[in-house]
A = this chain, B = another copy of it.
């Protein structure tokens, strides 16, 4: 920085030693400063417009006030809500949040952890479901282990496969609850926009959903479980596919709200009305969609709380085994899945898709 006032300047101006100035500006641990001296120092600091250099403090103290946050895509309401929880909790703890986005690229995620380690972030929060690929996870696990070895602590929102404390949303149970609720509303021919097969969150939601429907005696047609990207466009593509083949389906479950939005777009493109011709449900209960009419049936995940929780977790690291903190969900029924009433029989002119 061009010309910045240092603590030495302040000390000189106040006529005290550097040490005293330091103690006055940031109350030292045990040492204390005489009131009048501190007054003088503070005045001098103000007069000179002194601003402490956090980098220098970090060096001297051996720790920064930075917390790293890793998400895939900050425009995704899922991540931005969690991010809000993280920033709030970090703020409470007096930490700044360093935000990194990975654009859904695993390599980039590892890279970003390394970057955060360079910054000597005091803690790292990684958000995002893991994939079922050992080599990929292994790289990430290694990066986090390196980071931990350097003294930082990390935590994850996802699945406990990285050797760090993890907040785990009970996706399977939530999806099963949703399935039962839809069944109760009379749906019998569900389809699933399932996301990537290897994505553990997607898989848990898909499996929880299909298992519950099977248990209810209305097994999901395997042909109606569509793999796709875990994104808006993924949902859109899968829905388009579903519509293209004219699948006989009365409700579509997209494993995230954002994917459900993509599905909605596909339906619109094809002129298929939701929920009149086909019902739709998502997962997450993202904020922006809460007031849309017709409302999207979904499974609420307390995203902001999850963010705050994982942050508190990472800031009070526990020795020993990585902890797992489960988070419950709640089904939210809205207009996108109206009651079919007649328990599975088609009513009116349409019930399936074209």
* Interface, chain A (partner B; CB < 8 A): 1-4, 49, 51-56, 58-59, 62-64, 66, 69, 73-75, 77, 80-81, 83-84, 87-88, 91, 96-101, 114-115, 117-120, 146, 149-152, 232, 258, 261-262, 264-265, 267-269, 273-274, 286-293, 304, 353-354
Contacts and interface: CB of A to CB of B under 8 A. Distances in A.
A150 B1 contact: yes
Contact of A292 (B49, B83, B292): B292
B119 A268 contact: no
Contact of A51 (B54, B99, B114): B114
Given A74-B74, A150-B2, A54 B118 contact: yes
A17 to B, nearest CB: 22
Contacts of A289: 288, 292
A290 B304 contact: no
A310 to B, nearest CB: 16
12 contacts: A1-B120, A1-B150, A2-B151, A3-B150, A69-B99, A74-B80, A83-B99, A96-B98, A97-B100, A274-B293, A286-B288, A292-B292
A54 B80 CA distance: 27
B288 A354 contact: no
A121 to B, nearest CB: 10
A261 B274 contact: no
Contacts of A55: 55, 58-59, 64, 119-120
A53 B87 contact: no
B292 A264 contact: yes
Nearest to A57: B118
Contacts of A150: 1-4, 51
Contacts of A120: 1, 53-55
A118 B53 contact: yes
